[in-house]
Amino acid sequence: MSFRFSVRTGWDVGESSFAAAIREARLTGRRLYDLTVSNPTVCGFSYNAATILAPLGDSEALVYDPDARGMRRAREAVADYYRGHGAVVDPDALVLTTSTSEGYGYLFRLLCDAGDEVLVALPSYPLFDFLADLEDVKLKPYPLFYDYGWWIDFAELQRRIGPRTRAIVVVHPNNPTGHGTKAVERQRLEEICAQYGLALIVDEVFLDYSLHRADTEELVSFAVGPHPVLTFVLSGMSKIAGLPQMKAAWIAGSGPEALRREAMGRLEVIADTFLSMNAPVQRALPSWLEARQGIQQQILERVRANLACVEGMGLEVLRVEAGWCAILRLPRTGDVAGELLQECGAIVHPGAFYGIAQAGRVVVSLIGPVEDFTAGMKLISTATRGIK
Ligand SMILES: Cc1ncc(COP(=O)(O)O)c(C=O)c1O
């Protein structure tokens, strides 16, 4: 009998042609300008090593005394973080996870049976496909449209709701569009969730990275009530404190009391099955949260500088309100990312990577070192200048 793997892992695991082209370009020794770097730990930010590492040595972490939801002290620190955002979060309605990805996994298991559906925005975060596959959940994309800012196409969203739909995912502010969900949109989402019996899953990892544009609504956390429907807010250290390597995140549950209690009880059992959080990280989490401003200010300054650089070159950037990246609209069609790599050694994400169908869109990270970013952007500007 021949061997058979699970259907859910039947991905094409080969190297994409774009990844192969980058690998080959690197082998030639040619100077490349990687405009996709989104790992803050390699972008030249100044981290306070003592503040970050010292709490990991807390000897109390030698005792194994697990709490399925995560250590109380860490959950209280997270509740404190939300207090700063004007939200009252009950530490007992929090579950700590190693990442928001793990949080999605827990929530998909909580809400969905195999074959059930979850609505996600398009364009959005590409990892959703894999997170859904792993939990046997089907993703149904709902389109966002761009009209001097990004908006949810509610007619299409509603059209995609079926008998197996269980939840709507919102990334607030969204990656890669860098826009927040407006108050009227939140209200409409909640009405729809109430009407169809759906949960709302809100990923707020970039919440603290608003550019505070004068012509934009301020970002308000979905943790701020009231919560007419079952709502789960996800966030964590990877963006809030620029510490993706520490693996600490959470799910904050809210909603009608009985429903929320039932949800948190079930989530606790899921978390208890894995007990994936380690003790030193949970002990350190309060001090990382407390020190977050130091890294957030550096990242925001970098984002502003890089955004000003690309806008100053006359390249068309779709309006960014928040977050770490930007979508460029280049006067080209075809394989723009592949061409830019060949022509000028600039590495950008093809728009298709995020589900952007329109031609000429590429996505760049705004947190890379300013010099490299500027040099890469100049090359892109020169390569595309005059082609309209
Ligand atoms: C929208 C969004 N959510 C979550 C994550 C990852 O968070 P974590 O490291 O906690 O899984 C990312 C990473 O880029 C992201 O863009």
Among protein residues, the one whose CA lies closest to atom 7 of ligand 1 = 100
57: Cα separation from own chain's centroid: 30
CB count in 10 Å sphere of residue 180:
27
What is residue 385's predicted lDDT score, i.e. its pLDDT?
78
Nearest atom in ligand 1 to 124's CA: 1
User: Candidates 99, 203, 205: which one to mutate for ligand 1, based on the most atoms within 8 Å of Cβ?
Assistant: 205
Phi, psi of 372 (to 5 degrees): -65, -45
- Which is the closest atom of ligand 1 to the Cα of 235? 10
How far is ligand 1, taken at its centre, from the CA of residue 244, in Å?
9
Residue 13, pLDDT > 80, answer yes
Segments making up each domain of the chain, as ranges: 15-46+293-384, 58-290
Q: How many angstroms separate the alpha carbon of residue 70 from the centre of ligand 1?
A: 20
In what order do the strands lie in the sheet containing 361-365? 316-317, 325-329, 361-365, 349-350
Write the CA distances from 200 to 36, 137, 299, integer angstroms: 30, 16, 29
Q: From the CA of 377, how far away is ligand 1's center (Å)?
A: 25
The rounded Å distance from CA 385 to ligand 1 centre is 34
Give the CA angle between residues 270, 271, 272 to the nearest 5°.
90
Rounded to the nearest angstrom, the distance between the alpha carbon of 131 and the centre of ligand 1 is 12
> Across the chain, what does the average pLDDT equal?
96
Superfamily the domain 15-46+293-384 falls into: Aspartate Aminotransferase, domain 1 (3.90.1150.10)
Round to the nearest angstrom and report the end-to-end CA distance of the chain: 58
Global pTM? 0.97
Residues 6+ positions from 93 with CB-CB distance below 8 Å: 252, 253, 254, 260, 264
**What angle (nearest 5°) sits at the alpha carbon of residue 5, between those of residues 118 and 100?**
35
Taking CA 124 as the corner, what is the angle to CA 301 and CA 193, rounded to the nearest 5 degrees? 115
Q: Which of 97, 125, 201, 277 to mutate to test the pocket of ligand 1 (most atoms within 8 A of CB)?
A: 125
Which atom of ligand 1 lies at the shortest distance from residue 38's CA? 14
Our CA dihedral for 248, 264, 261, 128, rounded to 10 degrees, sits at 90
The alpha carbon of 101 and the centre of ligand 1 are apart by a number of angstroms equal to 7
Q: How confident is the model at residue 148 (pLDDT cuts 50, 70, 90)?
A: confident
- Does residue 173 have a cis bond before it (omega within 30 degrees)? yes
Q: What's the CA-to-centroid distance between 343 and ligand 1, angstroms?
A: 31
| Per-residue pLDDT reduced to its tens digit, 21-45 | 999 999 999 999 999 999 999 999 9
Sign of the CA dihedral running 45, 46, 52, 54: positive
In CATH, 58-290 is 3.40.640.10:
yes
Residues 259 and 199: their CA atoms lie apart, in Å, by 10
- Give 171's contacts (C-beta < 8 A, 6+ positions apart): 121, 124, 125, 202, 203, 205, 206
Q: Are 286 and 74 in contact (CB under 8 A)?
A: yes
Predicted confidence band of residue 215 (pLDDT cuts 50, 70, 90): confident
Ligand 1: residues with CB < 6 A are: 99-101, 125, 171, 175, 203, 205, 236, 238, 244, 249
pLDDT tens readout for residues 248-289: 999 999 999 999 999 999 999 999 999 999 999 999 999 999
Residue 135 C-alpha to ligand 1 middle, in angstroms?
A: 18
Give the pLDDT score at 276: 98
Per-residue pLDDT at 388 exceeds 90: no
Q: Is the pLDDT of residue 386 over 80?
A: no
Ligand 1 atom nearest to CA at 174: 1
pLDDT of residue 68 exceeding 90: yes
Query: How many other C-beta atoms are found inside a 10 Å radius of the C-beta of residue 74?
Result: 26
Residue in 100, 233, 246, 276 to alter for ligand 1 test, most ligand atoms within 8 A of Cβ: 100
- Give the whole-number percent of the chain exceeding pLDDT 90: 96
Best mutation site among 120, 208, 238 for ligand 1, i.e. most ligand atoms within 8 A of its Cβ? 238
Q: 19 alpha carbon to ligand 1 midpoint, in Å?
A: 21
Confidence band, pLDDT 50/70/90 cuts, at residue 387: low
